[in-house]
Structure 1
Amino acid sequence: MLSFFEASLTQLSIHRVGNKALDEHYILSEQPLTLQDELLQKLLMQYFLTPFEKVNEVYRLSHNSGERELNELYHFVHLFFEGELDFHSMSQQVTKHLYESSSHPKIKAGEVYVVQFEEVQLEGERLRGVGIFKSETKETYLKVYPEHGAFKVDYEEEAINIHKLDKGCLIVDTEKEEGYKVLAVDQTNRQNEAVYWKDDFMQVTVRNDSFHQTGNLMQVCKAFVNEKLEEAFEMEKADKIDLLNRSAAYFKEKEVFQLDEFTEEVLGNPAAITMFRDYKANFEEMHDLTIGDGFEISGQAVKKESKIFKSILKLDKNFHVYIHGKREYIEKGFDEERGKHFYKLYFDQES
C-alpha cells in the first residue's frame, strides 16, 4: 500500500503530551529539530513509516456533525498544506489537540513527533504528507562493546525500540475535498482507551471505495455460506467448499460486481438468493457501512480476501483434500462393511 523507497524526511518537530485527566501537562518545543546525521534520518524513516507498509485501510478525516472543517486535525493540516500555517506552528496546534483528546485515565504520556515527508508513494501517486506519531513504551537495552582486550556490558534505560511504533497516522496531500487519504496504526492498546487515537484525535472514517466494498462483500459471502446456509440447508462440506470456490472465482474473473448477476451465477437457488440479500442488509446495518449492489472489483482486495476462502476438505487426521472446482467429480458415500464414509474422486491424470 505505502512505499517510501524514494521518500525523504524534510521537517521534524518533537513535543510531549501528558494525560489531561491526570493533570499532566504538555510541553511544546520552541523550534523544529535539525537533523544532520544521515543514518539517524534513515532510522527515523524506518521507525515512522515501516508499520504502514502492511496497512490496507485508507481513512478520511471527518466529523460527526458532517462538517469536516470542524475536525481540528483536518483544520490545522489543511492550513499547512495550503501554505497558510508554518510547519512548526501546525505541529504545536496538533499536539495541543492531541492533549485535549487524551482524557481517558489509562492513556499514557509520551513524545509526539510531527513530520513532513516528501515523495511518499501511496496508490501509485508520489505526494507529500504529514505524519503524527506518538511513543509511549520505553525499554531497556544492553550494550556490549570491546575494551582493553575484554568486553564491557552497559545498558540504556527509557530507550525507544525503532521496530515498535506505538501510534501513528499519515495524512497525504491528495483528495482534500474528501478528507485526504489517511493511514493509521495503533499497536499498544486494544481496550476502550484505545479509541481516542482514531475516534477522538483523528476522527476518521473508512474510505468506502472499491477495495473496501470488495473486501466487505467477500467477507459477507464467506460468513453467509458458513453460517446462514449451513443453518438453513443440509450441506455437505464439499458443497460448501464448491460454493466458496465459485464465489471467489466470480471476484477473480469479473471486473465489476453486480448483485443480481452474482446471486444468479453463484447461488442460483431463489430461496438462497433471498436469504443472501437479507444477510447482506443485516451485515451492513450491524457494521454501520454500505456495500453497493454494483461496484468495480478491486484486484488487491480479492488477493487479500481470497486467503479466507479455504478449499481444504479435512478427513479425520489422515487426509486433506484440496478442492479447486468441478464438484461433479466428487462423490460421497458410506461403506457398510467398514462402517466408514468415503469420497470418490474422478480425474484424468495425476501429477
Structure 2
Amino acid sequence: MKIIAHQIGNKINGNGVKLSQEELHTDETMQELLQQYFLGSFKSEETYQFYSDSYLANNFVYFVVSQLFENKSQFINASKDLGRLLYDAAENPRIQGGELFIVYFPAENENDVDKIGIFKTERKESFLKLFSQPDTFDIEKDQGISLAKIDKAALIFNKDKDTGYVLQVVDNNKNGDMYYWFEDFLKVKQRTDDYFHTQESLMLYKDFIKKQLPQEFEVTKTDQADFLNKSIKFFNEKEEFKLDEFTNEVLGDEKVIESFVNFKTDYEQDMQINVAEEFPINSSAVKKSQKHFKSIIKLDKNFHIYIHGDKSKIQEGQDEKGLFYKLYYEKQV
C-alpha cells in the first residue's frame, strides 16, 4: 500500500497548499490502522462512475487516475495533480481545508483489482495527552484527526475504465456545499446497476402512491399505507423485479396499473433516467429505502397510527364526536 499526504487549504480564503515530495513512511501496524480507517468509510453498496459533459478523458480526475493505474511510478506526481485540482475546486469560502491522502491499494488476490483511494480530512477533534513526570503527570490539550469517521472519501476500482471506472464515494461533511466533492472535484454520477434500479423503482413507486394516486382515484390514507406495505413486502420476498409481476401483485387494478405506467414514463423523462423493467433486486438498496416507506397516519397533534399490514383491521368513520379510526387486534404486546 502506497500513501502520500498533502495539506490543502481553501483557495478563496487564500490558505494555500503544501504538497509532499515523498510518500509516508509507515510500519505494518500503522498501515493496518490506516487501511481500516480509510476503507471503513464505505458502508453502502451504492456505486458511481466518472463522467464528462464532452469526452470522458476531459474529466481530470479520471485522466490522472487512468495514468496512475497504468504506471504506479507516477504515484507522487499524480497525487500532486489531484491536490492542485482539489485546491482549485474550492470555490466556496465555507469549504474547510484539511489533509488530503492519496492511497494506492494493490490487488490482494486474483479475484481482486487495484484501487486508488482519495481521502480528505477536515474536522479536527480535541484530545488530552498525559506526560509522566517523576512524581506526577503533566496534561496538555491538542487537536488531531478522529479515526471514527473520515470527512470525504472516494475509492476507485480498476475496472470498467471505458465507462468511467467503478467508484464508492462518501461525503460526511458537506458544510454548506453539496457539490464540492461529488461534482466540482470528482465529477461523478451514480451507476445504473442493480442497486440503482432497485432504489429508483422504490422511490418512483412511493412518489406515485403519495402524489399521483390521490389525484386520480378515491383512496384513503389506509389504502396508501397498504400499497406501500405491499410494495416493500414484494421487494423483500422476491429476488428479481419484473414490472408486470409487480403491478399485478401490488397494484392489482387495471386503471391504477395504467396510471402507474404513465407516471413512470413521465418520471423518467423529468429525471432523465431509465428505470429498468427487469433486474435483480438489491437487498441493501431495499433496506436503505425502507425507512422512507413508513406507513404513518398523522391525526392532528394527538396521535400517529403506524400501519404494518392487514388494512382490514382498521376502519375509518365519523360520529357526533368527530372523525375516528377503529383498530382491531388479537393481543396487546
Question: 2:174 — aligned with what?
Answer: 189
Q: Which amino acid in the other structure matches residue 46 of structure 1? A: Q
Question: 2:46 — aligned with what?
Answer: 57
Q: Which amino acid in the other structure matches residue 275 of structure 2? A: I
Report percent identity of matched pairs: 33
Question: 1:113 — aligned with what?
Answer: 101
TM-score, normalised to structure 1, is 0.81
Question: 1:42 — aligned with what?
Answer: 32
- Cα distance in 2 for partners of 1:200, 1:337 equals 60
What are structure 1's unaligned runs of at least 5 residues?
1-9
What are structure 2's unaligned runs of at least 5 residues?
none
- Number of positions where the alignment pairs a residue of Structure 1 with one of Structure 2: 331
Question: 2:59 — aligned with what?
Answer: 71
Displacement of 1:168 in angstroms is 1.6
Question: 1:276 — aligned with what?
Answer: 260
Mapping 1:209-288, distance limit 5 Å: 209-288=193-272
Question: 1:141 — aligned with what?
Answer: 127
- Determine if contact 1:57/1:206 at 8 Å carries over to the other structure: yes
- Determine if contact 2:94/2:176 at 8 Å carries over to the other structure: no
Within the alignment, does 1:82 sit opposite 2:70 as a pair? yes
Displacement of 1:147 in angstroms is 3.9
Displacement of 1:129 in angstroms is 1.1
- Determine if contact 1:18/1:26 at 8 Å carries over to the other structure: yes
Q: 1:335 to 1:120 in 2, by over 3 A?
A: farther
- Determine if contact 1:13/1:113 at 8 Å carries over to the other structure: yes
Within the alignment, does 1:131 sit opposite 2:117 as a pair? yes
Q: 2:18 aligns with which of 22, 27, 31?
A: 27
Q: 1:186 to 1:231 in 2, by over 3 A?
A: same
Q: 1:16 aligns with which of 7, 13, 28?
A: 7
- Determine if contact 2:151/2:171 at 8 Å carries over to the other structure: yes
Question: Could you say what the CA RMSD is over the residues aligned between the two structures, in angstroms?
Answer: 3.1
- Cα distance in 2 for partners of 1:342, 1:191 equals 43
Displacement of 1:237 in angstroms is 3.1
- Determine if contact 1:144/1:154 at 8 Å carries over to the other structure: yes
Displacement of 1:95 in angstroms is 1.7
Question: 1:4 — aligned with what?
Answer: none
Q: Deviations over 1:233-260 (max 9, x none)?
A: 3323332222112222332333333333
- Cα distance in 1 for partners of 2:320, 2:108 equals 67
Q: Deviations over 1:174-199 (max 9, x none)?
A: 2222211111122222434x412211
Q: Which amino acid in the other structure matches residue 106 of structure 2? A: E
Displacement of 1:211 in angstroms is 0.9
Displacement of 1:77 in angstroms is 1.3
TM-score, normalised to structure 2, is 0.85
Q: 1:69 to 1:342 in 2, by over 3 A?
A: closer
Q: 1:333 to 1:22 in 2, by over 3 A?
A: closer
Mapping 1:292-307, distance limit 5 Å: 292-307=276-291
- Determine if contact 1:311/1:324 at 8 Å carries over to the other structure: no
Q: Which amino acid in the other structure matches residue 57 of structure 1? A: E
Q: 1:199 to 1:84 in 2, by over 3 A?
A: same
